[in-house]
Structure 1
């Protein structure tokens, strides 16, 4: 099943290498009601084809024209659209939003080598920042040991944006989000497609083949293994959320042990307050400290009085989003 994951750099590199030509257009700054967040990207091919979005359709036509001009001249361009412009209504931003978009032709200011390295780092799930001068188009990749404190915070928060000088743009590329769901129950059947739409690559883990079947989860990644072994094999990192839906200690406790020893950003476990209290007591007896156990969200999900499997799934995904965006600890 196709994942709802941004692949603009990969698409641009593929189109360039296919001889079509490619331009990356990136939102570098927004004000007001601009429809896409900073860092959103649109790829424009030399034949006019497009992939991705920088405005949800509002200014794409104008950006495509500018991109084709940039591809011909080999020069980057910084575009601005907003209510103050004479063309504001025509480009669809008469609601008051304003956006700045950096247009970079591949093989010119944005070299094929730099783009190729970026694609390789993304494939290896390595966080990386592309730092570019928006006036000259000269950019470089910063990753690994090259990352300094200020930039490290940006990367950790997945926060692209202009520096204070207004001339340097930092495009943060972090590994795609993953959701590991333990327990192929009815809630999982609702949660997994919702999570995919929200940009997660979901994996369903359940040793019970009758639960974790392709008929119940068509097109999704299924792992028929004990949860602790499956989670260890998946290689949990800081871009992973883990949700346990079995409320069976034989399955949940070993999986929680693996999750708590990983840097995953979210851990949630289904069950009542009484069930969760017993779970925390067992894990404390196993040696986990209170600060570790506080990472577990249980009962899982925001308290929105959810009743049906779909409503519970909405509550879970909302809580994961709140934690990801720093609105909940």
Structure 2
């Protein structure tokens, strides 16, 4: 591997950017493929970009056939991340569950009475407003975003940021009536049906959950479904 390529790959991993190292097996030519901004995809068959995206989503390397011979796609994914907006009881239950399944968790809540170390020991906390916090966290293909406050002043800016990102899962707590009002506000903000289809609202699988812990289970199950079944859904 060329030293410049290696240095860039190390920098990408340090910055936690999802990247695919593509190697043409016949020639040894290598390049880094990024799924944001189409970097590295110029002059390549669009199907290579699709294969690289699928490899990132599945977190599994693969070999694809091209007109230049077999191309090996090696995946370098950052850890899974969960961004929770709202330091409420459901968040307190969901944080340890998500950590057990491999997520790095960040909790955003401008209300320091809720978002504090006493309630969330050892968790990355932000008391910034969600638009500022989300800009700093930069959700990507490996990120799930869940809003839990019921407060449009807090939830809506986070949802707008999530919808502009590549987050693989977006969930919003609230009843069907609450979600309908949310859609009206997002429509006024310039979002449309394709955006709304990305929001799981009411959040979580419909399992009759009642307690904060049960709701947390339903959310994590739906996140897992979204993460692991993305490719099959795209192919349907």
Gaps of 5+ in 1: 1-109
Structure 1: distance between partners of 2:33 and 2:76: 10
Matched ranges for 1:238-317 at <5 A: 238-317=141-220
Do the aligned residues in 1 keep the contact of 2:61 with 2:73 (CA within 8 Å)? yes
Of 33, 36, 42, the match for 1:143: 33
* In structure 1, distance between residues paired with 2:13 and 2:50: 18
Please state if 1:124 is matched with 2:15: yes
Higher deviation after alignment, 180-189 or 150-159: 150-159
Match of 1:230 in 2: 133
RMSD between superposed Cα atoms in Å:
2.8
2:95 aligned with 1:192: yes
Greater share of helix? 2
CA distance, structure 1, for counterparts of residue 198 and residue 174 of structure 2: 16
Distance in 1 separating the partners of 2:206 and 2:52: 30
* Secondary structure, counterpart of 2:182 in structure 1: helix
Matches for 1:79-94 after TM superposition, within 5 Å: none
Closer, same or farther: CA 128–249 of 1 in aligned 2, 3 Å: closer
Does structure 2 retain, via aligned residues, the 8 Å contact 1:207–1:224? yes
Aligned residue in 2 for 1:176 = 79
Partners of 1:241 and 1:139 in 2: CA distance: 34
In structure 1, distance between residues paired with 2:203 and 2:61: 30
Aligned pair 1:152/2:49, yes or no? yes
Q: How does 1:10-21 map to 2 (within 5 A)?
A: none
**In structure 1, what is the Cα distance between the partners aligned to 2:146 and 2:164?**
15
Residue 320 of structure 1: CA displacement? 1.5
Conserved? CA contact 2:22–2:33, under 8 Å: no
Instruction: Indicate how the Cα distance of structure 1 residues 328 and 277 shifts in structure 2: closer, same or farther if over 3 A, else same.
Output: farther
1:115 is displaced (CA, Å) by 5.2
2: CA distance between counterparts of 1:250 and 1:297?
19
The verdict on how the C-alpha distance between 1:177 and 1:162 changes in structure 2, with shifts beyond 3 A counting, is same
Q: Cα gap change, 1:305/1:241 in structure 2, threshold over 3 Å: closer, same or farther?
A: same
CA deviation vs aligned residue, 1:191-219 (integer Å, no higher than 9, x gap): 12222222222110011112111121111
Give me the whole-angstrom Cα distance separating, in 1, the residues matched to 2:111 and 2:22. Answer: 47
CA contact (8 A) 1:182 1:246 kept: yes
Structure 2: gaps of 5 or more residues: none
* Matched-pair contact (CA < 8 Å) for 2:24–2:30: no
Q: Is the 8 A contact 1:181 1:245 kept in 2?
A: yes
**CA distance in structure 1 between the aligned counterparts of 2:189 and 2:75, rounded to whole angstroms:** 38
Residue 269 of structure 1: how far off its partner (Å): 0.3
User: 1:204 aligned to 2:118?
Assistant: no
Structure with higher RCO (Cα < 8 A, 6+ apart)? 2
Secondary structure of 1:212's match? coil
